[in-house]
Structure 1
């Protein structure tokens, strides 16, 4: 989806409504291949585009599915996505500063005044990927990954190891009190 800001001026009173199935797989895989395994599903996008005093306001609802690696074992995990995008496109730096002060997502258009909403949707897809992703087996508590001289342990196991390491060897117990007297 691409729009030219000048052409959107026809939608002052009534917004432009667009409903499309977008194939973003090539763009996502080219730009974000280290975060996404595959993005074969077409994304369903319903968008309203408003023109307001030289600015374009886009409100969109995006639904789709991508495959990402598990954060624990790197096994592929299906990740269904359903999110909203609210963005403002402006043509001057002065207008951009106004929206930045209001903490809104605002973008400065290039000299041509073209809004490339496909790239925006792809960027927002990546923003929707959580930091911690587990496969269904990992969620159900299956065995943690391990290899030669390493293993992943749970926080509970780590806490238990810390308390075990705090226990003092009985042969060295008297040395523990040695430095307490020297402080006085």
Structure 2
């Protein structure tokens, strides 16, 4: 999945259609050490050379097995990603106006390596929180000796309870106000 600009110029009259399966498990394990397993990435789409630019419009499909962020139990993720990029040759500017979802990138070499683009898009779209179905359904958080994880809403509720002042202590605060005012005089 690597082509030189020269190769792409030769077929510039029509888009090059792609329907390939790419094994990237080892490359991804080098970047994501906690990756348990990964299927080959199914890549479908097209590559088009036009006016010193290369347009790629792809759909990536893969399955990844990652540890749960709570329990470290294996979780299989079904990943479907659209990828739309326009690579602009070094030293050229492009007047081509793309839709908002097309990323424009300047090339630093005379080759297009879609494996780099695939890797980057998988990394950019990794979820921050990975949970098993049981963890999602139970909505329980881990806890241990003198610590526990709470949701943001539970944390805010506990904080509001702490802010409620005991009326007995409020009377004592008034007592200190009198002594502070006499110290200032």
Give the TM-score normalised by the residue count of structure 1.
Answer: 0.82
Taking the aligned partners of 1:141 and 1:62, their CA distance within structure 2 comes to 32
The answer on 1:124 being equivalent to 2:118 is: no
Aligned residue runs from structure 1 range 20-39, under 5 A: 20-33=20-33, 36-39=34-37
Unaligned runs of 5+ in 1: none
The answer on 1:143 being equivalent to 2:140 is: yes
Deviation at 1:96, TM superposition (A): 7.5
Residue number in structure 2 paired with 1:13: 13
Residue number in structure 1 paired with 2:64: 66
Cα 1:97–1:141 shift into 2, 3 Å = farther
| Larger mean Cα displacement after TM superposition, 166-175 or 75-84 | 166-175
Q: Residues 9 and 49 of structure 2 are in contact (CA less than 8 Å); yes or no, is this contact kept in structure 1?
A: yes
Q: Residues 96 and 108 of structure 1 are in contact (CA less than 8 Å); yes or no, is this contact kept in structure 2?
A: no
| Larger mean Cα displacement after TM superposition, 59-68 or 69-78 | 69-78
Taking the aligned partners of 1:39 and 1:125, their CA distance within structure 2 comes to 14
Query: What is the alpha-carbon root mean square deviation over aligned residues?
Result: 2.8
Taking the aligned partners of 1:69 and 1:48, their CA distance within structure 2 comes to 33
Runs of 4+ in 1 over 4 A off after TM superposition: 96-99, 176-180
Unaligned runs of 5+ in 2: none
The answer on 1:154 being equivalent to 2:151 is: yes
- The aligned length equals 177
Deviation at 1:14, TM superposition (A): 1.2
Give the TM-score normalised by the residue count of structure 2.
Answer: 0.81
Taking the aligned partners of 1:14 and 1:98, their CA distance within structure 2 comes to 17
Taking the aligned partners of 2:154 and 2:54, their CA distance within structure 1 comes to 53
- Whichever of the two has the greater Rg, that structure is 2
Instruction: Kindly provide the CA deviation profile for residues 34-76 of structure 1, in whole angstroms up to 9, marking residues without a partner as x.
Output: xx52343011101201010121111111101112233333433
2:47 match: secondary structure: strand
